[in-house]
A and B are shown apart, each in its own frame.
Chain A
Amino acid sequence: MKGWMDKFKALFLVSGIALILSGCGNPYLSALQPKGEGADMILDLMILSIVIMIFVFLIVMAIYTYVLVRFRQKKGNEDYVPKQVEGNHMLETLWTVIPIILLLILAVPTVQYTFALSDTTPETTEGEDGENAEEAIWIDVTGKQFWWNFDYRGMDIQTSQDLYIPTDRRVYLTLSSGDVIHSFWVPAVSGKMDVNPGKNENEMFLNATEEGVFWGHCAEFCGPSHSLMDFRVVAVSPGEFDQWVEEMQNVDPDAQPESDVAQEGKELFAENSCLNCHAIGSSPAMMGPNVTNFGDRSKIAGILDYNKENLVSWILNPDKHKPGNLMSGNYTVPSREDANKIAEYLMTLSPSEIGPDDAQDDDYLQPKKKEESNNEETENKEDETAEEESKDEE
């Protein structure tokens, strides 16, 4: 399906317009510089439609310019009465049929891609890129005013604001909202999907083809801080992701931080009932963002630069940074001193060595399974026995 599009795209690249398109914008945000399967497919469609449209536009403009130059009233010619033409069936048929053909050319890939992009049935083939349906990663995404929660289904992992995914495989998302409608959009990786409350749950997949910390936006108007409901998708190599999963699963919510200040902060965090809303670990509190790996956050609240000063400022007055957020007014504002300690504590929460930095370096770790077995035959056997064992256990 994609074959002819690729050729077409290659042809088009020569003409340079695609180059211009990809020249602008932030490489981790722009839909014109795709770093994922979905965004890649969509850019193909965009280019196809732009080419057709520019073709039409040039024809219209050619006639338009000619007409305006050639038939403009000349001096001394004011009384000239042109022939009153009724129409021309030939021409009229022509400019009805040609657009229909052009639209059909566009309609076929539109339908193909529309189906392809909404296909969230995990691939079951065991090909090179495929994975077992059972091994598919499903993440339950919840949008709330004005933050995001990510619950890794069956893995006992929850994060907020930063979504960790492995590169080069599809990750499946279910999207639902805890309040109003939001929309989940990571332009560089894939198109957007609405995040509805109630029964209207949606599914989509993400497949990042490069490592990176990708910018995510809320795209459906959701209240005062709609423009500040940012998040990040941290795409790390499969091996790094496996490591992250393991370390996140083994997190100890009660672990004592090393420094005294941070320890005090931990106590304050508990005393001030922060835990009622902000969970550490995989417990589904979900009133406020989960802070299990707060120490690795790429941004504070999705928008502020990650440093202690900003964190303290947030704790003291969140409304200043995100108007209309639901934390303001619903907690006891600590003193600046206490806020400092809490911030100190939160910034020590880093259960995994894998963080946003790993998405930006050159390390690419293969998934563990493939690393372990260099011999394919033994791998298959091992897998089979492993499956049998797991069945036995059940």
Chain B
Amino acid sequence: MSTATLEKRGFGATLWDYLTTVDHKKIAILYLLGGAFFFLLGGLEAMLIRLQLMVPDNELIGAQFYNEVMTMHGTTMIFLAAMPLIFAFMNAVVPLQIGARDVAFPFLNSLGFWLFLFGGVLLNCSWFLGGAPDAGWTGYAPLSIWSPTHGVDFYAVGLQISGFGTLMGGINFIVTIVNMRAPGMTYMRMPLFTWTAFVASILILFAFPALTIGLFLMTFDRLFGANFFVPDMGGNEIIWEHIFWIFGHPEVYILVLPAFGIFSEIISTFSKKRLFGYSSMVFATVLIAFLGFMVWAHHMFTVGMGPIANSIFAIATMAIAVPTGIKIFNWLLTMWGGNIRMTTPMLWAAGFIPTFTIGGMTGVMVAVAAADFQYHDTYFVVAHFHYVIVGGVVFGLIAATHYWWPIMFGKVLDEKLGKWTFWTFFIGFHLTFFIQHFLGLIGMPRRYWKFLPGQDLETGNFISTIGALLMAVGTIILLYNVIKTTVKGEMCSQDPWDGRTLEWSIPNPTPHYNFKQLPLVRGLDPVWIEKTQGNGKVIPAEPVNDIHMPNNSFLPFMISLGLFIAGFGFIYRPDTSFGYVLIAIGLIITFGSMLIRSLKDDTGHHIHKEDLEKEGAGVE
């Protein structure tokens, strides 16, 4: 088991390997598969929404089903698609970029993935068990508290489980980046993707516990008779909004900061230039994260907080435009004077800049508290956050898919198909969402199951639906590209893009232990430095020695499975006493597995010096 070659092994063995793996590279692949699956599911839901709104007074799907689809589209895309896909690339790339052999907590890393997966699966089980959640992805009380089906219970429990996973992932990456950087990899030499992953992890750490509490309170209200959000019993529904957005706003930055990091890497690589204003980029990232915690109430301007609170939050929100602007100009100036190669990842980066600028500008517009009385809860806001989340995060994730595919799978995705993906998706995107700004301004609130004729909303909605179909075509081309490359593609060289950071110094396929000898980092963009100033190879910081690696474990799967079963128990406990049985079984599995983990001495294994020398590969 000292090499990463998995070929010619039986399906069962491979499956078992992935079920028990603690290797960050394999967990990355798991996250990618899981995230992609939910992304397609969320996309399907989006198509249903757009088809329903294609013509006025449409009866394609019913009101209740529409609300479920709309709720699940938001929830799935944010929690089950964007988050895991971000984690996929953080797992695949961050340890390689900082010159580490693994993450700080490989066991927790695996546990984080399985918790996310089981949480997501639990949430989606609701489709087959009486109806999905129907209170919007924001789950505002008391609508969510009084929703008659079990849907919202699945929302609360499912997100709770996957939220634990995310929190663990966050802590894991913070510690990995603080403690496990290679010699010479100072903070100010870290690639920007690592920086943004670091800052996003800190945001996860401080934002997700608020969601945990919010979901607990919701669960208590719905399943255990508590009264947090029940007005008649002294509860206050606004508390939910505050708690949700104290989590929810940083969540936006958790998603978009790593996307910024991805684009920083791509723009720098394909312009053949060092990132312009690296320090100010780092500074801007940290500042965005810091301000991101002080602006949650700009989602609540119409709640009735009063003009003083509204003004404060308005100005704090506007302030975020400054560091974001710094980033945009730094990217432009990185390209300035460069030698720009228009590969597929770069194309996405080029598409990102104007798109995200529009999203940022409408962001400042909605920050104007008084004007938000008109924008709020309309399609203007829908357009705004899709420009930010799709134009920023999804563009970034697709770009990263193309850019780091060689790192993850050893092959380059087909460039021609990649460009087709870009143009269909890009045009489709703007067709879908640009018009929605105007739909909002001329009076279309969001989350409308149908719009009635006679409001002059027909044209805009029709155009929007056509655009959405085009985006679907783009996604299908990408899927085809992935399948085609996997089946027919050839293994590429270790550095197909002429990269600048450490992940491109590792042989293809990446060995199980990443680095035979830990690298010595001599500056920002270490591989580029060695290419231009050295002999092209990264200098090792240590002699070849035994390498300590963690052991695989099936326990993360079991712990998550236990919570999954207990989750069903909690949801059905008010209906049937069988719920208690499920809770008991689930918790026994979970805590039993944790106990086994705690009682066993598991100190990992060593790859011996002799074996490493036999293989011969690696930095030398």
Contact = CB atoms under 8 A, between A and B. Distances in A.
Report A-B touching, CB under 8 Å: yes
Nearest to A54: B361
A34 to B, nearest CB: 9
Given A26-B456, A32-B442, A107-B318, A71 B340 contact: yes
Contact of B237 (A46, A190, A197): A197
B368 A91 contact: no
Nearest to A175: B304
- Interface of B, secondary structure class, is helix
Contacts, number: 296
Contacts of B353: 60, 64
Nearest to A52: B364
Interface string A83-103: 111111001100110011001
Nearest to A185: B445
Nearest to A145: B143
Contacts of B376: 183, 191-192, 219
Contact of A49 (B62, B338, B365): B365
Interface string A170-187: 000000000111010101
Interface size on B, as a range, is 35 or more
Nearest to A91: B333
B377 interface: yes
Interface in B124-148: 134-136, 140, 142-143, 146
A199 interface: yes
Nearest to A319: B63
Interface in B296-341: 302-304, 306-307, 310-311, 314-315, 318-319, 321-322, 325-326, 328-330, 332-333, 335-341
B277 interface: yes
Nearest to A107: B315
Contacts of B370: 41-42, 45, 110, 113-114, 116-117, 191
Contacts of A78: 339
Given A49-B368, A190-B373, A31 B354 contact: no
B485 interface: no
Contacts of A224: 63-64, 67, 134, 449
Contact of B302 (A26, A61, A192): A192
A215 interface: yes
A139 B446 CA distance: 27
A295 interface: no
A383 B439 CA distance: 49
Interface stretch (A225-233, A267-275, A277-285, A308-316): A225-233
Contacts of A57: 357-358, 361
B451 to A, nearest CB: 7
Contacts of B232: 198
A220 to B, nearest CB: 6
A206 interface: no
A14 interface: no
A341 B448 CA distance: 34
Nearest to A59: B329
B236 A200 contact: yes
Given A24-B438, A87-B277, A192 B63 contact: no
A11 interface: no
B551 interface: no
Contacts of A200: 236-238, 303-304
B252 interface: no
Given A26-B442, A99-B321, A115 B333 contact: no
A259 interface: no
B63 A324 contact: yes
Interface stretch (B108-116, B268-276, B570-578): B268-276
B64 A226 contact: no
Contacts of B303: 194, 196, 200
B511 interface: no
A235 interface: no
B322 A46 contact: no
Contacts of B273: 82-85
B237 A198 contact: yes
Interface in A37-87: 38-39, 41-42, 45-46, 49-50, 52-53, 56-57, 60-61, 63-64, 67-68, 71-73, 77-78, 80-87
B64 A219 contact: no
B447 interface: yes
Contacts of B338: 71, 82
A87 B276 contact: yes
Contacts of A32: 441-442
Contacts of B456: 24-26, 29-30
A324 B322 contact: no
Given A24-B438, A71-B337, A223-B143, A218 B445 contact: yes
Given A46-B368, A96-B326, A227-B449, 20 more contacts: A29-B455, A29-B456, A31-B441, A45-B371, A56-B361, A60-B332, A68-B340, A82-B272, A82-B273, A86-B276, A95-B329, A96-B325, A103-B364, A114-B307, A181-B140, A192-B374, A222-B143, A225-B449, A226-B67, A303-B452
21 contacts: A24-B442, A30-B442, A50-B365, A60-B329, A67-B335, A67-B336, A82-B337, A85-B274, A86-B276, A86-B278, A87-B278, A91-B329, A106-B318, A111-B311, A111-B314, A191-B371, A196-B304, A197-B237, A218-B445, A223-B143, A303-B452
